[in-house]
């Protein structure tokens, strides 16, 4: 297959934007990329002429909660620990297989429509196999894993004993880790306050048995959370997680808002990645992570939407816009430019997951994970430069501008033509499942 595009934003090391370009796809891989004039004979290859659209890598979001999509709009105006205790833990605890399935479908549909091709998803306590089934069927690329919790003072009914958590996690990883080449396992202890020291240590050891898997947790999101970790363990949050072995080059820590200098140094030394979730951090009044500082220190940073009840969108483009804007009053107008943010959303997101050799940029030999987006709409700049293209994406772009989403060279979404699920049917099913779930709370 050959795809023609008005612009190709490669996100390669040379920051190339190819005008009037093409990519050739062979067996799901980009086999060549360049200017259309250099292509030569196309033979009998299938052609997608998107010469009015801009082609770029699919967005990568290394912190999502598909299990929570069903609860959108049901946990507003609360700070983190109250949000968990009063809303999210009771709702997740009431999930059945069918309600979890529709929640995952709602999230996947939204993500693909918005150009996200890869996620790291933190599941919930039970029925994790449903998440894997839906991710596999969707065609998207993902790491995922059950949420692990063996302590829960906020909502005691929502936890499991340590041995059961470890055994179930091992069984799931054994069954699903790259059995589909697009789907890897992400070991996911929820956060320090919901996991015993033994569970964190055992999980860190277990992850080593599954090459290319991920360690995934929340960290230093909320000041009350940090104070409680300090009270229980006599350490700062990052220091405590490090003492359990949870910080490695395969770790992705969501949020990391409130870190001291020593914790920042530890993250850098361990080569652990931060997933910045600006909408969630604002909505839960958690704070603003010092992303410019982390980038200056050489820490791997990516961007994710978190869950629908604390956002209330799963849009990579909304997160990118916010990630750029919220730093400027604090660190100056140059602190987060549009290109830097797009890098966090693509190739740096891939690096956080250890798959930057596979996806995250438009280069020969990488998987054909890309989107085609319309930057010719009324609300985009009419000035034609590389910088205006980045600006149009980050400051003016929206999910409605995405025309096509491809993963592994397969079209998984085409605007007004193809979606993973029929929206009317999906919403009808979601309303029925939510009503049933609330009866179980």
CATH number (domain holding residue 323): 3.20.20.140
Q: What percent of the chain has pLDDT over 90?
A: 96
Calculate mean pLDDT across residues 337-354.
98
pLDDT score, position 378: 85
Does 438 map to a domain?
A: no
206 falls in which pLDDT band (50, 70, 90)?
Answer: very high
Asked if residue 127 has pLDDT above 90, the reply is yes
Does 131 map to a domain?
A: yes
Residue 262, SS3 per DSSP: helix
381 falls in which pLDDT band (50, 70, 90)?
Answer: confident
Same domain, 71 and 9: no
420 falls in which pLDDT band (50, 70, 90)?
Answer: confident
Same domain, 162 and 250: yes
How would you classify the pairing of strands 17-26 and 410-414?
Answer: unpaired
Calculate mean pLDDT across residues 201-228.
97
Last residue of a domain, one of 352, 372, 387: 352
Same domain, 397 and 250: no
Give me the domain span that covers residue 392.
2-58+364-414
The secondary structure of residue 88, as a DSSP letter, is I
- CA dist 186 and 173 (Å) reads 8
Does 219 map to a domain?
A: yes
Residue 55, SS3 per DSSP: strand
Same domain, 220 and 244: yes
The helices-and-strands tally (H runs, E runs) of the chain is 17, 16
Does 422 map to a domain?
A: no
Same domain, 49 and 120: no
Same domain, 226 and 319: yes
Say how many Å lie between the first and final Cα of the chain, rounded.
50
pLDDT score, position 384: 87
Label residues 347-361 b or e (16+ Cβ within 10 Å = b).
bbbbbbbbbbebbbb
Helical segments of 179-222, H only: 197-207
Q: Over the stretch 247-299, which tens digit does the pLDDT of each residue have?
A: 999 999 999 999 999 999 999 999 999 999 999 999 999 999 999 999 999 99
- CA dist 277 and 61 (Å) reads 10
Asked if residue 43 has pLDDT above 90, the reply is no
pLDDT score, position 395: 97
Calculate mean pLDDT across residues 189-208.
98
Q: Over the stretch 133-185, which tens digit does the pLDDT of each residue have?
A: 999 999 999 999 999 999 999 999 999 999 999 999 999 999 999 999 999 99
Does 425 map to a domain?
A: no
pLDDT score, position 369: 98
Does 320 map to a domain?
A: yes
Calculate mean pLDDT across residues 367-372.
98
Q: How many domains does the chain have?
A: 2
Same domain, 52 and 63: no
- CA dist 325 and 342 (Å) reads 13
Same domain, 261 and 402: no
Calculate mean pLDDT across residues 214-238.
97
Asked if residue 417 has pLDDT above 90, the reply is yes
pLDDT score, position 383: 85
pLDDT score, position 262: 97
312 falls in which pLDDT band (50, 70, 90)?
Answer: very high
Does 358 map to a domain?
A: no
pLDDT score, position 12: 97
Evaluate whether 214 touches 148 at the Cβ level (below 8 Å). no
pLDDT score, position 57: 98
Same domain, 384 and 348: no
Last residue of a domain, one of 302, 325, 352: 352
Same domain, 23 and 72: no
361: tokens are 């940029």
- CA dist 429 and 373 (Å) reads 30
Same domain, 84 and 190: yes
More confident residue, 91 or 420: 91
Does 39 map to a domain?
A: yes
Residue 190, SS3 per DSSP: coil
Last residue of a domain, one of 352, 381, 401: 352
184: tokens are 């890897």
Residue 303, C-beta contacts closer than 8 angstroms, at least 6 positions apart: 61, 275, 276, 277, 278, 316, 319, 320, 323, 341, 344, 345, 349
pLDDT score, position 41: 82
Same domain, 46 and 168: no
Helical segments of 87-236, H only: 89-93, 97-113, 128-138, 162-176, 197-207, 223-233
Residue 115, SS3 per DSSP: coil
pTM of the model as a whole: 0.97
Which CATH number does the domain housing residue 395 bear? 2.30.40.10
pLDDT score, position 240: 98
- CA dist 65 and 273 (Å) reads 18
């Amino acid at each position: 297959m050959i795809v023609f595009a008005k612009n190709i934003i490669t996100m390669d090391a040379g920051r190339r934007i190819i005008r009037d370009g093409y990519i050739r796809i062979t067996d799901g891989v980009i086999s060549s990329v360049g200017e259309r004039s250099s292509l030569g004979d196309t033979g009998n290859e299938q052609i997608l002429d998107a010469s009015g659209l801009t082609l770029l890598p699919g967005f990568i979001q290394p912190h999502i909660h598909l299990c929570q999509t069903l609860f959108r709009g049901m946990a507003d105006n609360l700070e983190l620990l109250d949000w968990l205790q009063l809303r999210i833990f009771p709702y997740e605890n009431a999930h059945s297989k069918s309600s979890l399935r529709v929640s995952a479908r709602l999230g996947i549909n939204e993500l693909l429509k918005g150009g996200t091709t890869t996620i790291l998803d933190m599941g919930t306590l039970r029925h994790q196999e449903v998440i894997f089934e839906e991710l596999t069927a969707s065609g998207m690329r993902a790491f995922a894993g059950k949420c692990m919790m063996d302590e829960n003072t906020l909502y005691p009914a929502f936890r499991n004993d340590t041995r059961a958590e470890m055994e179930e996690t091992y069984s799931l990883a054994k069954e699903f880790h790259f059995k589909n080449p697009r789907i890897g396992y992400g070991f996911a202890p929820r956060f320090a306050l919901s996991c015993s020291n033994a569970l964190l240590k055992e999980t860190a050891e277990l992850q080593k048995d599954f090459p290319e898997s991920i360690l995934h947790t929340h960290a230093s999101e909320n000041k009350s959370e940090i104070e409680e970790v300090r009270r229980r363990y006599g350490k700062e949050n990052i220091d405590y997680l490090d003492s359990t072995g949870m910080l490695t080059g395969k770790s992705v820590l969501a949020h990391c808002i409130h870190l001291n200098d020593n914790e920042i140094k530890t993250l850098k030394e361990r080569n652990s990645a931060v997933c910045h979730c600006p909408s969630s951090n604002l909505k839960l009044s958690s704070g603003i992570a010092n992303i410019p500082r982390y980038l200056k220190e050489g820490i791997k940073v990516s961007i994710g939407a978190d869950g629908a009840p604390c956002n209330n969108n799963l849009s990579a483009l909304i997160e990118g816009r916010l990630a750029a804007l919220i730093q400027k009053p604090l660190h100056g107008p140059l602190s987060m430019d549009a290109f830097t943010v797009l890098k966090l959303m693509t190739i740096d997101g891939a690096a956080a997951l250890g798959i930057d050799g596979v996806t995250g940029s438009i280069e020969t030999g990488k998987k054909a994970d890309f989107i085609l987006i319309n930057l010719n709409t009324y609300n985009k700049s009419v000035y034609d430069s590389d910088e205006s293209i980045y600006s149009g994406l980050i400051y003016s772009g929206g999910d409605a501008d995405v025309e096509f989403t491809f993963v592994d060279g397969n079209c998984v979404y085409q605007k007004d033509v193809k979606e993973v699920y029929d929206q009317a049917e999906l919403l009808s099913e979601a309303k029925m499942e939510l009503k049933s779930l609330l009866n179980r709370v």
